[in-house]
Amino acid sequence: MEYLKIEDEIKYHSQKYRIQREIEDMFIEEGYFYIEPSLYENLDELESFYKKIGKESLVKIINGNSDVVALRPDNTTNIIKNIIPKWKQGMQLKLFYNSSIFKNVNNSNIEEIKQLGIEYLGGFDFESDIEVIVLALNILNKFNDKFIMEISNSKYIYGLLEDINIDKIQEKQLKNIIYRKNKFEMFDYIKKLNLPSKIIDCLANIFEFQGNISQVIKRAEKFYTNKIMEKALEELIILGDFIKKEGYSKYVCFDLSMITELDYYDGVIFKGYYPNSFKEIIKGGRYDSFTEYFGEKVSAIGFSVELDEIANIINTRR
């Protein structure tokens, strides 16, 4: 953010620093310790992962050996690729970071995004889900009590896709339609696929599976489910009960059509928003299977907080 007066700029940065300290204090109080991710990524080491987010979005530079490296596009990947190869059975690590990620955006401009975030590795699955989501809710509530958090479980859509006999390109197109929540495009696209009628009905109605947990279950139970999808619904019901006990039910919307930009989550996923902001303030989820890519499957969940966006919202409000 740019200011005409130096006083306004100093005030903004002081305010942003205060917000950062308050969030870091919340992390420390919950037992997380600080880690500094490395700035650079080796493209060859993580080529298959970077294909998912698109190489065109990476900020690439050439090192002294004339090798092409990238400025980190994602803090979670950067952290676990260094930790998981050294993992020992029975460990539990609660980490937090305060770092930037870098992306190429329109017209090849480089965007630096300041993030605070946590990673909870090796925790008991459901207990760590609850702890991490309640912490995310507490952060959102601390700076604006008119927030909304969307929650789903990625097993629901992945379970559905497992029973659809389509190729990878078609699956990617279908995921993109769900991600953009385009109902009319969905109707047109699924007509072209040779799918069982019960799965067509589920996909045609999937954007209606949102609301409080009771509404979501009532709507979704009329349509196709398999064991994986049923497991996702069971986990969300239990999570919904804990959120109710914490007093956050009115702030939470469950949405079974939710898909994240980073395709490595395999359990609960969530995004938090403030009014009058189109950016996600908090986003995260469970990614056990992604740790296996680095040598061992470990219970893992985390989230990142967009520090600049919180500071901008508070500054605009005043």
Instruction: Answer yes or no: is pLDDT of 43 > 80.
Output: no
What pLDDT digit, counting tens, does each position of 261-280 carry? 777 889 999 999 999 888 89
CA distances from 13 to 80, 100, 305, 309 (A): 31, 16, 17, 13
Contacts 24+ apart (CB under 8 A), 66-70: 67/42, 68/43, 69/40, 69/41, 69/42, 69/43, 70/40, 70/41, 70/43
Question: Region 232-245: what's the mean pLDDT?
Answer: 95
In percent, the amount of the chain with pLDDT more than 70 equals 95
In this prediction the pTM is: 0.90
Q: Where do the domains of the chain lie, and which CATH numbers do they carry?
A: 1-122+287-317 (3.30.930.10), 145-284 (3.30.930.10)
Instruction: Answer yes or no: is pLDDT of 37 > 70.
Output: yes
Binding site, annotated residues for L-histidine? 74-76, 115, 119, 264-265
Residue 12 in contact with residue 2, Cβ under 8 Å? no
Binding site, annotated residues? 74-76, 115, 119, 264-265
What pLDDT digit, counting tens, does each position of 201-228 carry? 999 999 999 999 999 999 999 998 999 9
